[in-house]
Structures are given as C-alpha cells and as structure tokens.
C-alpha cells in the first residue's frame, strides 16, 4: 500500500531507517518512544527515561542535540518542557535536554513504526523500546526434588559470604566479602543463583569503594537479567541493579544520572511495585535519594529552592528510617540514623531549616548527636557498620559546628569559641551502655579523633583518603582548641596538607577553606 505523503515511516529492525534513509539508533529510539507515549501513556517522556536507556552516556545533552537535528531533517516536530503543546518555536532551546519531551498535536505528523516493513504491533514496539516483560517461566521439576537434592556448595558459600559481610569483613578487609560472593557465583547452578550472587557481589564491591569491580559485576548482572528465566524474582534484581547503578553515578559526582536511575525505579510499571512492597529496596532508594537532595540543597543558588530540597531530603530520610525498621534490617537503621543526625545539623547550620531560628544551636547539636549515637550504639551492640569512620567525623563536626572565629584567626580568637562540651553530648544520649563513654576513649574531643587515626595507622580500621583527611582536620582543630599550638596539632595539620593531592578538586578546596579557619601559625611547619 503506497505511503501517505505526510507519513513518516520508522523501520525498527536493522538497518534502521526513517523514510528509507539511514537513521541513528538513539534518535530513532527516542522518536519511537515519543510515539508510544502519545499512543499509550500520558504523552510525555521524561529526560530520566532517556538517561536510563542510554546510561553509558555521562550526559544526554549531546544525544538530545543530535536527535533534534535528526528530527528536523525528518520533518518531525518535537516539543520539550512545560507547558505541553506550547508552540515549539517559542520554547527556550537552552533547557531542551531537561525534558520532558512530547509530540505536538499536529494531524499532519503521522508516525508509522514498522517491523520488517509491516506495521508494528504494540507488543513489538514495546520489545524494541525495552518495555516488554519477559514471559513467566513455567514451573518445572527443577524446583522440586531434583533441585533440592543438588550439592549445597553454592548455598554454603553464599551463607559464608553473608556472614563475612555481616561481621564487617567487607569493610575491614576491603575485598573479602565481595570475593566470597564471587566464589559463590562460581558455584551457581542456574540464572537465579547467578543473579543473586552478582547482585550481592556488586553491592559489596561498592560498599568497599571498589567501584570498577562493582561496575563489572553489575554489567554481568545485566546480561543475566536479559536472558534469565526467573520471572518471579527478576523485578527485584532489576530494582537493586537500578540502585547500584545510581550509587555509581553518585560516587562519580553525577547526581543527575543517579536521580534518573531512582526515578525509573519509582515510576516504572514493572519496578514500582517492588519499591512499594519491598522495604529493603525502598530503604536503599530513599536513603540515596536523601543524599542526592542533600547535595542539591547545599549546592543550589536560590535559597528557596535549597530549602525545598532540604525538606525533601529530610522526608526521604524519615521514609528510609521507617523502611529500615519494617525490613528488620538493623544495618539499614544504622546507616539512616547517621545520615539523619548529620543532615539535621548541616541543614540548620546553613539556614535551610528553622529559618526563623526558633531553635538554639545546642539543642540542634544534641539532637543530631542522639541520632549519631544511635548509629554508633547499633554498631557496638549488633556488630554491624564496622570500619566506616563517618560517625566519628560527623560527631566531631557537629560538636564544633557553631564555632566561627573567621579566616586566619589569632590563637586567642580561635580558642574564644569552644565547642559543645563532651559531657553535654554524653548526657544527651539515652541508651546504655553509651558508645561515647570514657572507657571507649571519649576522654576529650581530640582523643576521639586521635583514637580513630591510630586504629587506621595500625590497620585495624582502614579509612579512605577522604575519611583520613576529615579526621586529620578534626584532630588538628580540637588539639589546637585544647592545647594551643602544640607539636601534635601542627603535625596533624601538616599530614593533612600532604594528603590533599590524593583527593578530588572539590574536596581539596573544602579542606583548604577549613585550614584557613585555623590560626595561621599552625600551618607554618607545612609551608
């Protein structure tokens, strides 16, 4: 049948073509996705959907720019942003890559997706776009007597790996938990076992800061998910894969990519029920979402927007706390309690909460320390969360958070603003035995930082360069406050200076600014 003169034919099988001309796959995919959204959804394609489909692209700006150039050559008009169906020639092109994208309601735009020259069905279109669900695997005797009579090597190794992770070995020894999961995977007998071990291995690599190994495990998980026959568990694996991928973006300081992964998890028709009904998935998603909104709150330019982001972050943390308890995961509770304590103080300090200043600084400090104390108490009593160091860093930062002596103060000016007394923090914490007791080294604020650094130096508490830098800063600050310009204070400041080249540029800038808040004499030995 001859084509209509206004018809635009989209051939969705290789070689990809539009009106019989070669077409770039990304542009063809986006146009087909827009057609699907107009025909079967609400008509809009968020930028996060494009980002997630082409996750290898650090940014979709270039992809979108090329796609719109192709649309123009194909005679297709596509809009972006809000309001939907505004005249395209009146929309600011500078905001185009932010989406959402939509097709204007023009009757002359007649898109016709084809598969092998024939009109594509909805199922075929969903398959091309990656929206179809794999057919449910038929129940078989493989999950009956034969399956349960198989050797226990896989389950035994997986159990041992979970014990290693629970006891903190994945953090204390860096690679052990992830390697234990890797060993379990080598004994896997089917796709489900492969996917389960890969998911846990990728998470363990990420927690021990081995991001490249985490990425490799995640890629292998993706291949297993594409060909796996375990439909009952596949959405859960896919949801966790979204979370691990989001953590990768977060670790690379690419918050837009991380948010795109989490939005896909919460909005996908297949994955959204996992987010809703699986409290562990919900915790992971909300906890990371809170960190991303915290980043936006602290790095935004408009105060109202920053306050809105801070409020969203606190709401996400509250939801993550509930999900952690719902999941009976004490390790998850430990993580979110630490994030709550730090964010409560950080947002108040920057004027993003309690703008009228109805709360006094010591009251906010004590409440923040209670949450940090709950996290540390869980670490002590349940043996989880070992080796982080962040609880101590946050605690010390909150204790001195209200001290502002200005840039390059004199020693007298610096010591004129003492931190919150250690006894006030110890009295604020209700649970016993206290994780902040004298028996645990809490004789003074400086002793807390020095003990953590000593644990690292003796290889009992391995710290990342960023954690070392933070503890060195706190040691120098509190030693100067307590002892003045001592050799110990100067030595820790010098050690921090020598560590700076190992940090990222933004991190180096932070520590240089913090060093400028110390008496200049403290830094003279490091000149």
Q: Is the pTM of this model over 0.75?
A: no
What are 210-230's pLDDT values in tens digits?
767 777 777 777 777 665 555
Q: How far apart are CA 413 and CA 152, in angstroms?
A: 67
Q: Which residues contact 124 (CB under 8 A, 6 or more apart)?
A: 12, 115
368, containing H or E segment: helix 361-382
Question: Which of 189, 137, 124, 170 lies closest to 331, judged by CA?
Answer: 170
d(CA 330, CA 319): 15
Residues 40/16, Cβ–Cβ less than 8 Å: no
CA angle 448, 454, 458 (to 5 degrees): 150
CB-based burial label for 299 (10 Å; 0-12, 13-18, 19+) = exposed
Structure tokens at 81: 């942003």
Mean pLDDT calculated for residue range 497-523: 90
pLDDT at 292: 94
Banded pLDDT at 83 (limits 50, 70, 90): low
Q: List all residues 6 or more positions away from 156 whose beta carbon is below 8 Å from its beta carbon.
A: none
Tokens of 14: 């290789």
CA-to-CA distance for 290 and 338, rounded, in angstroms?
12
Other residues' Cβ atoms within 10 Å of the Cβ of residue 305: 12
Two tokens, residue 501: 């080249």
* C-beta separation of 493 from 476 below 8 A: yes
* Under 8 Å between Cβ of 237 and 214: no
User: What was the pLDDT predicted at 116?
Assistant: 85
* CA–CA gap between residue 302 and residue 32 (Å, rounded): 37
- Residue 172's pLDDT band, with cuts at 50, 70 and 90, is very low
pLDDT of res. 174: 45
Strand order in the sheet with 44-45: 44-45, 101-102, 79-80
Please give the average per-residue pLDDT across 484-488, as a whole number. Answer: 91
| 9, containing H or E segment | strand 7-11
Quote the CA–CA distance of 15 and 76 in Å, as a whole number.
Answer: 20
What pLDDT is recorded for position 412?
92
pLDDT tens across 303-350, in order? 999 999 999 999 999 999 999 999 888 888 888 999 999 999 999 999
Q: Using the predicted structure, report yes or no on whether residue 376 has a pLDDT greater than 50.
A: yes
Q: Which of 143-147, 216-220, 244-248, 396-400 has the lowest mean pLDDT?
A: 143-147
pLDDT band at 149 (very low <50, low <70, confident <90, very high): low
User: Is 507 a residue whose pLDDT tops 60?
Assistant: yes
Look up tokens 């004994």; give the residue: 187
The b/e string for 77-88 (b: 16+ C-beta within 10 A; e otherwise) is: ebbbeeebeeee
**pLDDT over 50 (residue 134):** no
Q: Give yes or no for residue 387 having a pLDDT over 60.
A: no
> What are the residues whose beta carbons fall under 8 Å from the beta carbon of 33, sequence distance 6 or more?
45, 49, 50, 53, 129
CA-based torsion, 493, 497, 498, 500: positive or negative: positive
The closest alpha carbon to 140, from 78, 192, 76, 91, belongs to 192
Residue with tokens 């071990």, as numbered in its chain: 197
Tokens at 455, concatenated: 């644990």
């Amino acid at each position: 049948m001859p084509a209509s003169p206004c018809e635009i034919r989209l051939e969705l099988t290789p070689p990809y073509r539009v009106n019989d001309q070669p077409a770039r796959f990304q542009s063809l995919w986006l146009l087909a996705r827009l057609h699907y959204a107009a025909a079967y959804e609400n008509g809009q394609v968020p930028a996060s959907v494009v980002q997630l489909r082409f996750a290898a692209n650090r940014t979709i700006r270039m992809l979108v720019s090329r796609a719109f150039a192709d649309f123009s050559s194909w005679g297709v008009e596509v809009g972006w942003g809000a309001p939907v169906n505004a005249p395209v020639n009146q929309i600011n092109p500078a905001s185009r890559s932010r989406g959402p994208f939509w097709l204007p309601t023009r009757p002359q735009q007649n898109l016709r997706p084809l598969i092998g020259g024939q009109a594509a069905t909805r199922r075929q279109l969903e398959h091309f776009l990656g929206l179809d669900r794999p057919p449910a695997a038929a129940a078989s005797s493989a999950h009956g007597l034969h399956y349960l009579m198989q050797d226990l090597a896989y389950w035994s190794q997986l159990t041992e790996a979970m014990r290693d992770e629970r006891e903190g070995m994945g953090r204390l020894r860096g690679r052990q938990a992830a390697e234990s999961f890797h060993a379990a995977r080598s004994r896997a007998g089917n796709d489900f076992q492969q996917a389960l071990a890969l998911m846990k291995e990728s998470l363990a690599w990420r927690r021990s800061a081995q991001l490249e190994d985490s990425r490799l495990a995640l890629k292998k998980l993706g291949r297993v998910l594409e060909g796996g026959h375990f439909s009952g568990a596949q959405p859960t694996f896919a949801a966790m894969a979204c979370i691990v991928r989001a953590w990768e973006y977060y670790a690379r300081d690419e918050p837009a990519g991380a948010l795109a992964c989490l939005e896909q998890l919460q909005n996908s028709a297949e994955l959204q029920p996992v987010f809703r009904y699986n409290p562990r998935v919900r915790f992971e998603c909300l906890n990371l979402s809170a960190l991303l909104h915290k980043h936006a709150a602290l790095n935004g330019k408009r105060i109202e927007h920053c306050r809105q982001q801070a409020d969203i972050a606190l709401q996400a943390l509250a939801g993550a706390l509930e999900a952690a308890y719902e999941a009976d995961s004490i390790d998850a509770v430990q993580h979110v309690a630490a994030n709550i304590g730090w964010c409560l103080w950080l947002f108040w300090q920057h004027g993003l909460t309690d703008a009228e200043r109805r709360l006094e600084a010591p009251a906010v400090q004590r409440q923040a320390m209670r949450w940090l104390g709950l996290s540390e108490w869980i670490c002590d009593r349940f043996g989880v969360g070992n080796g982080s160091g962040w609880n101590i860093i946050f605690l010390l930062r909150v204790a001195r958070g209200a001290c502002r002596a200005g840039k390059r103060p004199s020693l007298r000016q610096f010591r004129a603003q003492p931190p919150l007394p250690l006894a006030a923090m110890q009295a604020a914490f209700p649970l016993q035995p206290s994780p902040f007791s004298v028996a645990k080294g809490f004789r003074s604020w400086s002793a807390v930082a020095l003990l953590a650094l000593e644990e690292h130096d003796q290889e009992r508490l391995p710290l990342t360069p960023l954690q070392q830098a933070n503890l060195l800063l706190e040691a120098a600050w509190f030693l100067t406050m307590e002892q003045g310009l001592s050799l110990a204070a100067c030595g820790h400041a010098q050690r921090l200076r020598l560590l700076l080249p190992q940090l990222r540029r933004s991190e180096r800038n932070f520590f240089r600014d913090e060093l400028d808040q110390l008496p200049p004499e403290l830094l003279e030995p490091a000149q």
